[in-house]
Amino acid sequence: MATTTSTGRSLTLRRVDSVAPDATVRHIDQLDDRSLELFYAALEGGRRLTATGTDLEPGTVVVATGYYRVEAA
Amino acid sequence: MTEYVIIGDGISGSSAAETLREEDPESSITVITDEGEALYNRILIKEHAKGKLPEAPISIHEEDWYEERDIELSLNTHVTGVDTDEKVVHTHEGDEIGYDKLLIATGGTPTQLPVDGSDAEGIHHFWTFQDARKIRESAEEAEKGVIVGAGLLGIDFAAVCGAQGVEGKYLMRGDRWWRYALSGEGAEIMHEGMRDVGVEPVFDSGVDHFETDDDGQVVAAVDPNGDRYECDFAGVAIGLTFNTEYLGDIDLEQDNGIVVDQYMQTNLEDVYAAGDITRFYDVLLGEQAQNGSWGSAKEQGRIAGVNMAADDEAEEFEWVSSYSITHFDFPFLSFGHPTLGDDHAERKYSDTEWRRIAFKDGKVVGGVLIGDLAPQSKLKQLMREQRVVADQKEVLLEETVDLDDLAPPQEQ
């Protein structure tokens, strides 16, 4: 599980196998550049994240090389 | 009260409508679409076709989204003509909708292969949500598939075959996938990704004709070499034909797309265009360009809305696009215009990592990253800054790109 921070909040990315019909789902190409950078850094892990903001919200599922649910840490 | 009419309810048209309502609260806004559903997430429909994503999360706007913003949405409505002298849009039901400013955002329709049998049952093109539903249904029943179109859209069909357990043959005319942007080394990583999901790339092939049974169902594709590939599912993605036929003979400048400037203005007064359908002036590239990415279309719609509401050249379109492929274990990202430019640099780092950077006049204008996307934000930054860096390719090809290692920018 990877961890990133967003405007004071800690977020984790959890890989999921399925998506609920009421989920908010975004493709990775919908993320802004900063969020994209943080997202992949968090996925790959081990990288220090110094940015302060993303446009990711807890509960959102992001479609990348897998499906990842953004969760509050 | 200004009357705005938007033809097309894709992301560019919808983005324009939202912007216009914010910029001009008292205006009249009409959005016309020939589809039967309001805006949905076009870059997620491939996940539905793969059988991985239910329908509901793909919808973006319900019809009440438009009602809440006092935007008139006309679904299932075909525009049959536009009279730019009288400033009227004609629909298939005989309605005449007047406008003060018009936005054309009708995108394209997948091009059909000009070969015998290409309209058979089981042969699919992929553009709308309805297409995705049919592809999902067809792929779930299929055993053998054929894919045609060695580009960014065709690879979605390969992913559908892989996810749905269809044994796929990907028939490519050249010696590799997306040969305009990838060298053999980069393409081979993608070929391995295809093989890993059960799709075999076939090179120097293509389709000469399809064979069908007595019911009109596709049963095989035959390539120009005479090789026959049995299939009960086929996906064709050889490009888009832009939806401009309804514009008739109005004097709108077109060049494989509607020509617009950086303000999304066409050559006709009060007529704008946005999204896939445009050949826009790219201020970073310094020439007209095209782009089919979601972000670019959304931003073009916003820019069109800003300038339509301002009745002025208030904001120009300046955008570095991204297009990701998420079907394999490794990430893939194309940005900007990787197939354009006058120079390039590339390097392979491992069996799953490769990078290409395209330059024009010494400046970064695009690239492709496979496996390691870490440099993407720095390369996009260089593109936005229009910095001359082509003489420092080694720095840009380092596994970890450090912009501080570049020589200071020269006065230009």
Structure tokens at B136: 């999902």
**A59 vs chain B: nearest CA distance in angstroms?**
13
Judge whether B374 is closer than 8 Å to chain A, CB to CB.
Answer: yes
Is residue A49 scored above 50 in pLDDT?
Answer: no
Task: Name the least confident of A47-51, B23-27, B325-329, B376-380.
Answer: A47-51
Residue B149 shares a structural domain with residue B196: yes
Closest chain A CA to residue B58: A25
Indicate the residue of B56, B324, B373 with minimum beta-carbon distance to A21.
Answer: B56
- Amino acid sitting at position B339: T
Q: Note the pLDDT tens digit of each residue in B220-278.
A: 999 999 999 999 999 999 999 999 999 998 999 999 999 999 999 999 999 999 999 99
The CATH number given to whatever domain includes residue B100 is: 3.50.50.60
Residue B210 shares a structural domain with residue B121: yes
Are B36 and B129 contacting, i.e. CB atoms less than 8 angstroms apart?
no
Is B263 within a domain? yes
Q: Name the band, by pLDDT with cuts 50, 70 and 90, for residue A8.
A: low
Domain's final residue, options B207, B236, B265:
B236
Bridge partner residues of A12 (DSSP): A3, A71
Q: Which long-range contacts does B119-122 make (Cβ < 8 Å, 24+ apart)? A: B120/B210, B120/B212, B120/B216, B120/B217, B120/B218, B121/B212, B121/B215, B121/B216, B121/B217, B121/B218, B122/B217, B122/B218, B122/B231, B122/B232, B122/B233, B122/B234
Bridge partner residues of B234 (DSSP): B123, B146
Q: Note the pLDDT tens digit of each residue in A11-25.
A: 888 899 999 999 999
Domain's final residue, options B210, B236, B262:
B236
Structure tokens at A26: 């975004």
Tell me the average pLDDT of chain B: 96
Residue B41 shares a structural domain with residue B185: no
Residue B122 shares a structural domain with residue B86: no
Q: Note the pLDDT tens digit of each residue in B171-210.
A: 999 999 999 999 999 999 999 999 999 999 999 999 999 9
Judge whether B89 is closer than 8 Å to chain A, CB to CB.
Answer: no
Q: Which long-range contacts does B257-260 make (Cβ < 8 Å, 24+ apart)? A: B257/B290, B258/B104, B259/B288
Mean pLDDT of B1-9: 97
Is B412 within a domain? no
Is B411 within a domain? no
A27 with B373: Cβ contact below 8 A: no
Residue B194 shares a structural domain with residue B284: no
Delimit the domains of chain A by residue range. 2-72
- The Cα B116–Cα B246 span in angstroms is 27
* % of chain A with per-residue pLDDT over 70: 77
* % of chain B with per-residue pLDDT over 70: 99
Structure tokens at B345: 């640099």
Q: Is B359 helix (H, G, I), strand (E, B) or coil?
A: strand
Is residue A72 scored above 50 in pLDDT?
Answer: yes
What pLDDT score was predicted for residue A50? 45
Is B322 within a domain? no
B226: burial class by Cβ within 10 Å (0-12, 13-18, 19+)?
exposed
- The Cα B410–Cα B412 span in angstroms is 6
Is residue A53 scored above 90 in pLDDT?
Answer: no
Is B99 within a domain? yes
Is B324 within a domain? no
Query: What's the number of domains chain B is made of?
Result: 3
Chain A partners within 8 Å of B295 (Cβ): 29-30
Is residue B47 scored above 50 in pLDDT?
Answer: yes
Mean pLDDT of B67-96: 97
Range of the domain at B66: 3-107+243-310
Judge whether B40 is closer than 8 Å to chain A, CB to CB.
Answer: no
What pLDDT score was predicted for residue A1? 52
Mean pLDDT of B17-21: 98
Indicate the residue of B55, B323, B329 with minimum beta-carbon distance to A29.
Answer: B323
B56 with A40: Cβ contact below 8 A: no
Is B316 within a domain? no
Q: Note the pLDDT tens digit of each residue in B119-168.
A: 999 999 999 999 999 999 999 999 999 999 999 999 999 999 999 999 99
DSSP at B246: G
B43 with A22: Cβ contact below 8 A: no
Is residue B64 scored above 50 in pLDDT?
Answer: yes
B44 with A63: Cβ contact below 8 A: yes
Residue B303 shares a structural domain with residue B338: no
Task: Name the least confident of A57-71, B195-209, B249-263, B296-310.
Answer: A57-71
Is residue A4 scored above 60 in pLDDT?
Answer: no
B380 with A33: Cβ contact below 8 A: yes
* Count of CA atoms in the C-beta half-sphere (13 A) of A51: 18
Is residue B368 scored above 80 in pLDDT?
Answer: yes
Mutate to test the interface with A, among B55, B291, B373, B401 (most CBs of A within 10 A): B373
The CATH number given to whatever domain includes residue B371 is: 3.30.390.30
Judge whether B300 is closer than 8 Å to chain A, CB to CB.
Answer: no
Chain A partners within 8 Å of B326 (Cβ): 27-28, 63-65
- The Cα B282–Cα B296 span in angstroms is 11
Indicate the residue of A25, A34, A63 with minimum beta-carbon distance to B326.
Answer: A63
* % of chain B with per-residue pLDDT over 90: 98
Judge whether A29 is closer than 8 Å to chain B, CB to CB.
Answer: yes
Closest chain A CA to residue B299: A30
Domain's final residue, options B185, B207, B236:
B236
Q: Name the band, by pLDDT with cuts 50, 70 and 90, for residue B384.
A: very high
Instruction: Please list, in sequence order, all residues whose beta carbon lies within 8 angstroms of the beta carbon of residue B67, skipping any fewer than 6 positions away.
Output: none
Residue B116 shares a structural domain with residue B232: yes
ipTM of the complex: 0.91
Q: Name the band, by pLDDT with cuts 50, 70 and 90, for residue A38.
A: confident
Chain B partners within 8 Å of A33 (Cβ): 322, 376-377, 380
Closest alpha carbon to B368 in B389, B387, B341 = B341
Residue B181 shares a structural domain with residue B269: no
- Amino acid sitting at position B389: V
